[in-house]
Homo-oligomer: A and B are copies of this chain.
Amino acid sequence: VCLLWEVAMIVLFGVFVRFGPEADAHWEEEKREMNLTSDIENDFYFRYPSFQDVHVMIFVGFGFLMMFLKRYGFGAVGFNFLVAAFGIQWALLMQGWFHSFKSGKILIGVENLINADFCVGSVCIAFGAILGKTSPIQILVMALFQVPLFAVNEYILLNLLHVKDAGGSMTIHTFGAYFGLTVTRILYRPNLEQSKDKQGSVYHSDLFAMIGTLYLWTYWPSFNSAISNHGDAQHRAAINTYCSLAACVLTTMAFSSMLQKKGKLDMVHIQNATLAGGVAVGTSAEMMLTPYGSLIVGSICGIVTTVGYVYFTPFLESRLHIQDTCGIHNLHAMPGLIGGIVGAITAAAATEDVYGKEGFIQAFDFTGQYRTRTPSVQGGFQAAGIMVSLLMAFAGGALVG
């Protein structure tokens, strides 16, 4: 299967994929045309450091985070590696057809690499729900279908609805998580509980998982700022995410300790819920959310996610027959929804006063056919984006499952 697919990739890349103007050897001429005076203006230097951080998050962060299962360390990190490596090639093609298609060719640059990693991130999230229940081939098949669905959903949101979602609260987290939950619902296995002892963690597997957690946590500001506009938007997205994540740690620890009988901290909460703050500002981080706004969002999500692990996960499993191995409903689905809603509110509340005249137009790209769109209308479209992501996730998940 892997070989066949790789051959297909080579053929499709051969037909469609070429270097974008900033990675092509014609760059010197391009520079003259765009009136750029220096090589440092190449998009590479704006985005490459963030790209590498995102790359580490997908391959090291997600891989190690899923290692907490004591009998499934290799499986988690190995299959994550396989699926992600396949997914980025497939995503370059699918997203390219929708977003970077020019005169018959997909022109790629560093931004495409980041987007491919983002798309694969949503596959890794879905993988977290079905971890331990499926064979590698099944996971690959899931990726084969999820990537195009992701690209379609992203196209509807970003191009048709003209929605902002640079950190992917909706496109990556909400879509990925509800897709995965739908798939795991369909693959429900009643006897899985008997092997419950394998689902536990041991001391060392938990320490490995902490590597994943800490890398995801420290690099999340890069995740949310990687494809924002140059300049202030990237800067702002990093600051907002930093603040939100810091707040999230404190409320997670507080609730984790409160909800346990002896006041001890639960490693699962520390490994997961501390990251919810990053998910929750995915849409709004590049907007003028303000640092205290980020603290509020982060605090709330830390609480929601921790409560989710204690009460929702058992409920989902026993009542709704959704076996959510890694608890992605708590870490990605709910915070993703919150992130989408916060984004809609922040967009609706935007004023020219806060953003400045030029900043306002730039932040929401109110140019061309969207010249006359108002913040409140934008807020409405953002909300519609959440709905579309949910629908795509349920329908797609049901089909693929």
Interface of A with B (CB < 8 Å)? 1-3, 5-6, 9-10, 13-14, 17-19, 22-29, 31, 37-46, 48-50, 52-53, 55-56, 59-60, 63-64, 67, 73-74, 77-78, 81-82, 85-86, 88-89, 92, 108-110, 113, 203-204, 206-208, 210-211, 214-215, 217-219, 221-222, 230-236, 238-239, 242-243, 245-247, 249-251, 253-254, 257, 265, 267, 270, 274, 288, 290-292, 295-296, 299, 354-356, 358-360, 362-363
A-B pairs with beta carbons under 8 Å apart, 10 shown: A2-B251, A19-B239, A19-B291, A24-B236, A29-B356, A56-B215, A85-B249, A85-B274, A89-B243, A92-B243
Chain A interface mostly helix, strand, loop or mixed? helix
Whether the pair A359, B246 counts as a contact (CB closer than 8 A) is no
Whether the pair A354, B25 counts as a contact (CB closer than 8 A) is yes
- A254 — nearest CB in chain B belongs to which residue? B2
- A217 — nearest CB in chain B belongs to which residue? B59
A322 to B1, CA, bound (A): 35
CB distance from A377 to the nearest CB of B (A): 19
CB distance from A314 to the nearest CB of B (A): 24
Instruction: Enumerate chain B residues within 8 angstroms of A221, measured Cβ to Cβ.
Output: 52, 55
Whether the pair B40, A46 counts as a contact (CB closer than 8 A) is yes
Task: Count identical subunits in the complex.
Answer: 3
Whether the pair A25, B360 counts as a contact (CB closer than 8 A) is yes
Whether the pair A359, B27 counts as a contact (CB closer than 8 A) is yes
Instruction: Enumerate chain B residues within 8 angstroms of A89, measured Cβ to Cβ.
Output: 243, 246-247, 295
CB distance from A398 to the nearest CB of B (A): 28
Whether the pair B354, A9 counts as a contact (CB closer than 8 A) is no
A210 to B74, CA, bound (A): 9
- A274 — nearest CB in chain B belongs to which residue? B81
User: Pick the contact of A230 from B29, B39, B86, B110 — CB < 8 Å?
Assistant: B39
Taking A49-B48, A253-B82 as contacts, is the C-beta distance between A235 and B22 under 8 angstroms? yes
Instruction: Enumerate chain B residues within 8 angstroms of A292, measured Cβ to Cβ.
Output: 10, 13-14, 17
Whether the pair A67, B207 counts as a contact (CB closer than 8 A) is yes
Instruction: Enumerate chain B residues within 8 angstroms of A88, measured Cβ to Cβ.
Output: 242, 246
CB distance from A56 to the nearest CB of B (A): 5
Instruction: Enumerate chain B residues within 8 angstroms of A52, measured Cβ to Cβ.
Output: 49, 53, 218-219, 221-222
Taking A296-B10, A359-B25 as contacts, is the C-beta distance between A82 and B249 under 8 angstroms? yes
Whether the pair B29, A218 counts as a contact (CB closer than 8 A) is no
Instruction: Enumerate chain B residues within 8 angstroms of A274, measured Cβ to Cβ.
Output: 81, 85
Whether the pair B296, A29 counts as a contact (CB closer than 8 A) is no
Instruction: Enumerate chain B residues within 8 angstroms of A238, measured Cβ to Cβ.
Output: 44, 48, 110, 113
A63 to B231, CA, bound (A): 32
User: Pick the contact of A254 from B3, B31, B108, B299 — CB < 8 Å?
Assistant: B3
Whether the pair A299, B231 counts as a contact (CB closer than 8 A) is no
